[in-house]
Amino acid sequence: MPSTPRAIAWFSLGVALAAGGPSLHAQRPASSSQAVAADTLSATAKPAPPDSLVTPARPVSPPPATQSPSRTWYERLSLRGYAQIRYNRLLETNNQLVCSQCDRSIGNNGGIFLRRGRLVISGDVHPRVYVYVQPDYGTDAAGVQHYLQIRDAYFDLSLDAKKEHRFRIGQSKVPFGFENLQSSQNRLPLDRHDGLNSAVPNERDIGVFYYWASTTARARFKTLNDSGLKGTGDYGVFGVGVMNGQTANRPEANNSLHNVVRLSYPFRLPSGQFFEAGISGYSGRFVVPSRTAGVRVLPEYTDERVALSFVWYAQPFGVEGEYNWGTGPEYQAASNSIDERSLQGGFVQTMYRWRTHDQVIQPFARLHSYHGGKKMEQDARRYEVHELEAGVEWLPIPNFELTAQYTMSDRVFEDAATVGNRQKGNFLRLQAQFNY
């Protein structure tokens, strides 16, 4: 019978092995071929060099985990967003100069302002179904702050496995123009220009849209959107659809729908330079939502436009421009009425993209004008806008951007209560943007 110490030693060794102690095989020295293979792997597994062309404009999401069949639909959704905080009154020369379509904190009584606060819930809940819901906790159309509302709530139904053909159903951006489709998270100037944004204020409506884009074009749209080159994202090479026509978060006001069509292609030169050219248009009948008592108004108005767009992406120098022509409601002081009138407007912008010390600095300048009515505003206000903006966007880290923009503006905007109203002035604007 073994002695007590020897029994205790054997018992301890048995417990250690049962508990998953070190394997005897693990203690063997590696063969020479195994050692060489390990050294080769260690020497070649170096971090990839940074992309010389593009830098992410916001945090890059980690690669998705492999989806098992048992994962439920809500486990396939992701959450991201951004917030913008502004102050617009530095070096201000005229506090009566305002722009309700642009930013309601411009001018008299404007202070530090939460312009946008977005949360995006999105994901492929099925190989053929994509969900996108974007609430905003910024400001509503009446200027009420910290107001939660839906900006987007749409569903993409793909007709093929490559997702080259798809229907988009719900409230989403209307495929008209370029800057309207560009996210405010990516745009260089602080506000969209009056010319095309007056066509679709808030850029969105409830509708059904068909989009087509080849696999190559879809990959380019993704690169331009995710890389910091300020693309629009994938709204197809060709898009066509119908929508209510009264713009986002508003009920339909007549018995007819608006029609829209857009064609845009992202070209890539052998040098790697991207440029995009497009044409778009829409038509419908519009009901003016806000008019003063005593102003003569028609039940409906012709609402139609056509637009041309061009973008030479900043690699490092870029040029962007678009212009539109059309017909819409517009206030006329001489007759105290809202009439159907022709309209036109657009912009040209230059920009430069400079990368240094893992930071991105992008100076820009934009000249834009607009002559026509704004259908969503009181009495379909008449506008004559001439504006020059120059600024710089600084991206020190992916999660934070700081933009400074100096604006020189000359605006005529009149309705029944403000006939002959013309305001000129300059002001410096600051915006802090947080990407998450």
3-state secondary structure of 366: strand
Is 253 within 8 Å of 287 (Cβ atoms)?
Answer: yes
Give which of 175, 184, 266, 187 is closest to 219, Cα–Cα: 266
pTM for this prediction: 0.83
Give which of 145, 195, 103 is closest to 427, Cα–Cα: 103
pLDDT at 146: 80
Set out the domains of the chain in order of their start, with CATH numbers. Answer: 78-435 (2.40.160.10)
What is the Cα 217 distance to its own chain's centre?
Answer: 18
Per-residue pLDDT tens listing for the chain (436 residues) = 444 444 434 434 343 333 344 333 333 333 333 333 333 323 333 333 333 344 444 544 444 444 455 688 888 999 999 999 999 999 999 999 999 889 999 999 999 999 999 999 999 999 999 999 999 998 766 667 788 899 999 999 999 999 999 999 999 999 999 999 999 999 999 999 999 999 999 999 999 999 999 999 999 999 999 999 999 999 999 999 999 999 999 999 999 999 999 999 999 999 999 999 999 999 999 999 999 999 999 999 999 999 999 999 999 999 999 999 999 999 999 999 999 999 999 999 999 999 999 999 999 999 999 999 999 999 999 999 999 999 999 999 999 999 999 999 999 999 999 999 999 999 999 999 999 9
Give which of 336, 353, 343 is closest to 302, Cα–Cα: 343
Give which of 186, 199, 151 is closest to 322, Cα–Cα: 199
- Tell me the Cα Rg of the chain: 28
Cα gap 388→86, rounded to integer Å: 19
3-state secondary structure of 42: helix
Cα gap 67→71, rounded to integer Å: 7
Amino acid identity at 77: L
Concatenating the DSSP letter of every residue in 370-414 gives: EEEE-TTSGGG-EEEEEEEEEEEEEEEETTEEEEEEEEEEEEEEE
In Å, how far are 49, 227, 228, 229, 360 from 53, measured between CA atoms?
Answer: 12, 9, 10, 9, 12
Instruction: Give strand ranges (E) for 249-377.
Output: 258-268, 274-286, 301-312, 317-332, 337-352, 354-356, 359-373
Extract the tokens encoding 362. Answer: 């992008």
Give which of 333, 317, 331, 325 is closest to 274, Cα–Cα: 317
Cα gap 314→275, rounded to integer Å: 9
Give which of 205, 296, 306 is closest to 253, Cα–Cα: 205
pLDDT at 33: 36
In Å, how far are 120, 133, 249, 291 from 205, measured between CA atoms?
Answer: 18, 14, 7, 22
